[in-house]
Amino acid sequence: MKPMATRVLTYEEKERFVHIVANLKTPIKCVFSLKKRIKDGDLKGMKSHDYHVMMQEILLLCIWHLMTKDCRMAIIRLYCVFKKVCIKGVEPTTIGELKHDVATTLVLLEKEILPSFFDVMTRLLVHLVEELEFCGPVHT
């Protein structure tokens, strides 16, 4: 048998992930809607807002002890890039640094995740930063 890839959670890790989401206590009200989405030990029927909250607020708490360091760091960098893209105000001097961060993050993700994951939508992140430079910030 081949060993599992580092990016794939085992059954026990998946259960621990769902358990963390179910028992999360935060001041954010929208986390409550995630608790309602847990059915049969799995997250089901999530809406786009639920995914948004999961990606921008909860995912980092949940994966901290579940994945290898390299895979975890690639996901954390992606999280940081999205946080920088979705802010209300951007200084024009930081756009070059953000472009570099996006390129580095995509390279790290390509090292950790299968190439079949990378389609047009994944590369869209590069164009979002360019649009940020030309058009200015668009919050959420």
Does residue 8 register a pLDDT over 80? no
Does a structural domain hold residue 129?
yes
Does a structural domain hold residue 1?
no
pLDDT score of 49: 76
How many separate domains does the chain show? 2
56-93 residue pLDDT tens: 777 777 777 787 788 888 888 888 888 888 777 778 78
Is residue 91 domain-shared with residue 53, that is, in the same domain? no
| DSSP of the chain | -PPPPTTSPPHHHHHHHHHHHHT---S-THHHHHHHTEETTEE-S--HHHHHHIIIIIHHHHHTTTS-HHHHHHHHHHHHHHHHHTSS---GGGHHHHHHHHHHHHHHHHHHS-GGG--HHHHHHHHHHHHHHHH-----
Is residue 76 domain-shared with residue 32, that is, in the same domain? no
88-108 residue pLDDT tens: 777 878 888 989 999 998 888
Q: What range does the domain containing 30 cover?
A: 11-63
Is residue 75 domain-shared with residue 126, that is, in the same domain? yes
- Percentage, residues of the chain above pLDDT 90: 4
Is residue 78 domain-shared with residue 130, that is, in the same domain? yes
Whether pTM exceeds 0.85: no
Does a structural domain hold residue 76?
yes
